[in-house]
């Protein structure tokens, strides 16, 4: 698995899409954290959620994952990928793991940068800062969210294959369909994988994520539910990938 | 178990009602270049993709030294592949494309620079593939096939996009690989090119085998090899050959011996002290043979 994992990470690193998306994630996260630190006056109770949850890597990593796997079909590189790794399930597993790892690392590096920036600005303004323990826990929650969404994005992209449909569908589900449905049927859609569960894993309050007063799952339980979504979509994608002819 | 480097055994594949390949069997030997010929739509690419596990066969099996491609432990170290529609991520440089494949196949990065040098792309290695010409892309695909220094090369229309110098380079590459003892299976529609490069030929049409064997055997047609011979004493030579069971026909002052090689005819003449003034193998051109064998599809 290690050579395949290395190859998948190398694929990601050697395209401008990844560099652009990573730069966007870093830029937007630092911009939000900087503006909130400079322009608001958070209290001791709200500072963690207000300033230190601005890591946007989860959004970008799921798009990157969908683009990464569906791009194999778009550019027809799936053939050379499967010639190098004829075991199709291992190939899919390597890609899933690679995006999970990259999501984790990207999120950690952004969250730590956000934390450093937030601490500098808040300290300079004599405003309260969170304890290191609770900050570390928050960073861990957000990194877990990015890791799970990276893996989930690969499985979704492998199911859909058409890059445009996959990306547009992802954005529609994340920003329109799921937020509306969770408001209508919260007991069902709090188990939905694009917004509700990731928000719960990140331990960010529902109202701060635009989900109103929905009672989200606890982070640990939400992570298990996300893992179940990943396992389910991975299984279906793997079966389809194995059955497909690559003409 | 067969000693062939590549074995195609009864492969069949249908797409809906279309029979793309029907019960196709042939072998590719180590140290030889085997041309895989057929008209467009004959089933060549489908056959190669079944051999490589990219398309699932309805029946039959393709294997390398007895093992299916997907069962090979380090496939890229054993089989190098160039497919007709070799594709690359347009935003990745040629060198990075090879680095990805090297990582997946556990080949050292040093091999990347070696194969780039071998295909003449060192100068363009850091350019993004979307700026490559078709010929450069084809060379990059060949570089990828050579990464693992494989014992078998499977090449689908490798001369596509190459200029005359590139085609000559490709021919030399195929011959060099065979000379190293490697097996080369190359599909092509450039018959004149194939005729200069291959040792063996497999001809298919409508997904079925039409002919296979050495180039000489296939060019000889149904009669096998044909020899034309002239001698100072033609009547005596005809008698000697007839006694030895060699069928001959008189043609413009010469004798034509269908089904016999020049070696056999020459040996019989020598054994009887007969002086020969001409001894040549008569063959159809590969183009003639191809059109004859695939007449119902061409």
Those residues with Cβ within 8 angstroms of residue B101's Cβ, 6 or more apart along the chain or in another chain: A7, A80, A84, B76, B107, B144, B147
Beta carbons of A203 and A216 less than 8 angstroms apart: no
pLDDT of B179: 96
SS3 content of chain A, % helix, strand, coil (to 5): 80, 0, 20
Q: Mind telling me how many Å the CA of B112 is from chain A's nearest CA?
A: 14
* Coil vs helix vs strand at A22: helix
Mark yes or no for CB contact A84/B93 under 8 Å.
no
Q: Please identify which residue in the block is written with the tokens 């109103």.
A: A212
What confidence tens digit (pLDDT) does each residue in A93-105 have?
999 999 999 999 9
What residues in chain B have their Cβ under 8 A from chain A's Cβ atoms? 46, 49, 52-56, 69-70, 72, 75-76, 81, 83, 85-93, 96, 99-101, 103-106, 144
Half-sphere exposure of A185 (CA within 13 A, CB side): 7
Of the residues B51, B89, B148, B152, the best mutation for testing chain A's interface (the one with the most A CB atoms within 10 Å of its CB) is: B89
Q: Please name the member of A3, A81, A247 whose beta carbon is closest to the beta carbon of B106.
A: A3
CB contact under 8 A, A79 and B83: yes
- A4, A77, A86: residue with CB nearest B70: A86
- Can you tell me the ipTM of this complex? 0.89
pLDDT at B221: 67
Q: Which of B56, B85, B104 lies nearest to residue A3, judging by beta carbons?
A: B104
Pairing of strands B249-251, B254-258: antiparallel
Structure tokens at A236: 């279906």
pLDDT by residue, tens only, chain B of 298 residues: 557 999 999 999 999 999 999 999 999 999 999 999 988 889 999 999 999 999 999 999 999 999 999 999 899 999 999 998 778 999 999 999 999 999 999 999 999 999 999 999 999 999 999 999 989 999 999 999 999 999 999 999 888 888 888 888 999 999 999 999 999 999 987 777 777 889 999 999 999 999 898 887 777 666 667 788 999 898 999 999 999 999 888 877 888 888 888 889 999 999 999 999 999 877 666 777 777 777 776 5
pLDDT at A152 over 70: yes
Token pair listed for B7: 């074995």
The pLDDT assigned to B257 comes to 87
Quick one: how far is CA B177 from the chain centroid?
A: 12
Considering only the beta carbons, identify the residue of A71, A83, A243 that sits closest to B52.
A83
Give the end-to-end CA distance of chain A in Å, rounded to a whole number: 26
Q: For A185, phi and psi rounded to 5 degrees?
A: -130, 70
d(CA A204, CA A222): 12
Q: Rounded CA gap, A76 and B55, in Å?
A: 15
Name the DSSP class of A51.
Answer: H
Give chain A's count of helices (H) and strands (E).
Answer: 12, 0
| Contact partners, residue B196, CB within 8 Å, separation at least 6 | B171
pLDDT at A211 (0 to 100): 80
3-state helix, strand, coil in chain B (%, to 5): 40, 30, 35
Beta-carbon separation of A77 and B89 below 8 A:
yes
């Amino acid at each position: 698995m290690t050579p395949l994992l290395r190859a998948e990470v190398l694929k990601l690193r050697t395209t401008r899409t990844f560099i652009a998306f990573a730069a966007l994630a870093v830029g937007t996260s630092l911009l939000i954290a900087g503006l909130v630190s400079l322009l608001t006056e958070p209290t001791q109770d709200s500072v963690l959620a207000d300033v230190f949850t601005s890591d946007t890597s989860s959004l970008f990593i799921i798009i990157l994952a969908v683009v990464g796997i569906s791009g194999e079909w778009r550019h027809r590189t799936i053939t050379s990928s499967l010639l190098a790794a004829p075991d199709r399930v291992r190939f899919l597993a390597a890609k899933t793991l690679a995006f999970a790892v990259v999501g984790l690392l990207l999120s950690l590096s952004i969250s730590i940068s956000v934390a450093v920036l937030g601490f500098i600005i808040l300290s300079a303004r004599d405003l309260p800062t969170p304890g290191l323990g609770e900050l570390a826990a928050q960073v861990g929650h957000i990194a877990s969210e990015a890791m799970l969404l990276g893996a989930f994005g690969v499985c979704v992209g492998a199911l859909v294959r058409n890059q445009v449909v996959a990306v547009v569908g992802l954005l529609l589900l994340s920003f329109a369909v799921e937020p509306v449905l969770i408001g209508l049927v919260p007991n069902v859609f709090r188990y939905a994988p694009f917004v509700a569960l990731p928000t719960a894993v990140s331990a960010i309050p529902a109202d701060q994520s635009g989900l109103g007063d929905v009672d989200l799952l606890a982070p640990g339980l939400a992570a298990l539910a996300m893992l179940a979504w990943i396992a389910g979509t991975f299984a279906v994608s793997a079966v389809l990938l194995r059955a497909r002819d690559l003409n | 178990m067969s000693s062939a480097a590549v074995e195609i055994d009864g492969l069949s594949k249908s797409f809906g009602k279309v029979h793309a390949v029907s019960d196709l069997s042939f072998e590719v030997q180590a140290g030889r270049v085997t041309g895989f010929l057929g008209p467009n739509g004959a089933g060549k690419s489908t056959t190669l993709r079944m051999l490589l596990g990219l398309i699932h066969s309805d029946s039959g099996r393709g294997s390398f030294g007895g093992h299916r491609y997907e069962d090979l432990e380090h496939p890229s170290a054993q089989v190098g592949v160039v497919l007709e529609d070799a594709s690359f991520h347009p935003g990745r440089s040629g060198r990075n494309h090879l680095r990805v494949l090297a990582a997946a196949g556990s080949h050292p990065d040093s091999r990347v620079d070696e194969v780039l040098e071998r295909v003449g792309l060192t100068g363009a290695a850091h350019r993004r593939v979307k700026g490559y010409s078709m010929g450069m892309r084809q060379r990059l695909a060949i570089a990828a096939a050579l990464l693992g220094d494989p014992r078998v090369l499977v090449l689908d229309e490798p001369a596509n996009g190459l200029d005359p110098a590139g085609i000559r380079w490709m021919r030399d590459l195929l011959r060099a690989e065979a000379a190293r003892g490697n097996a080369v299976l190359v599909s092509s529609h450039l018959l004149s090119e194939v005729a200069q490069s291959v040792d063996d030929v497999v001809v298919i049409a409508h997904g079925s085998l039409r002919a296979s064997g050495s180039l000489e055997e296939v060019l000889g047609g149904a009669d096998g090899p044909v020899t034309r011979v002239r001698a100072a004493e033609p009547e005596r030579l005809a008698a000697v050959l007839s006694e030895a069971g060699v069928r001959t026909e008189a043609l413009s002052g010469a004798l034509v011996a269908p089904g016999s090689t020049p070696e056999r005819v020459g040996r019989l003449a020598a054994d009887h002290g007969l002086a020969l003034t001409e001894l040549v193998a008569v063959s159809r051109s590969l183009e003639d043979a191809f059109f004859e064998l695939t007449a119902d599809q061409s």
